[in-house]
Amino acid sequence: MGVCGFCNENEKQSYWVSWCEDCANLRRMLVLHNPSKCVSILKRCLIRNEEQITNKIKLELHKNGNDQEDYDKPLTRKQKQDAEIKKI
């Protein structure tokens, strides 16, 4: 039948439609709700912020039994500047 015009992975539902079932459901949700509200929900649920990344690293280090002392030390001025540059 063909590939979905949105995700380019799944097959279309039929010859007469452009999208697969999942993408059609996403489109219905965007039409039903405010698109900016849907985007903010997706960002909140699917994208990690810096604090969440830091917590994940600490958990993984603790889980593996590695020493956390180096990770818990405060950043130097140069490390902070490097982190700011990477954000930009």
| Residue 50: per-residue pLDDT | 84
For residue 36, the Cα-to-chain-centroid distance in whole angstroms is 16
- Cβ pair 4, 21 in contact under 8 A: no
Predicted TM-score of the model (pTM) = 0.51
| Residue 23: per-residue pLDDT | 92
Q: What digits encode the pLDDT tens for the residues 1-54? A: 789 888 988 888 888 888 899 999 999 999 999 889 988 888 888 888 888 888
* Mean pLDDT to the nearest integer, 58-76: 64
| Residue 64: per-residue pLDDT | 63
Sign for the CA dihedral angle at 40, 87, 57, 74 comes to negative
Structure tokens at 14: 């039929």
Beta bridge partner(s), residue 11: 3
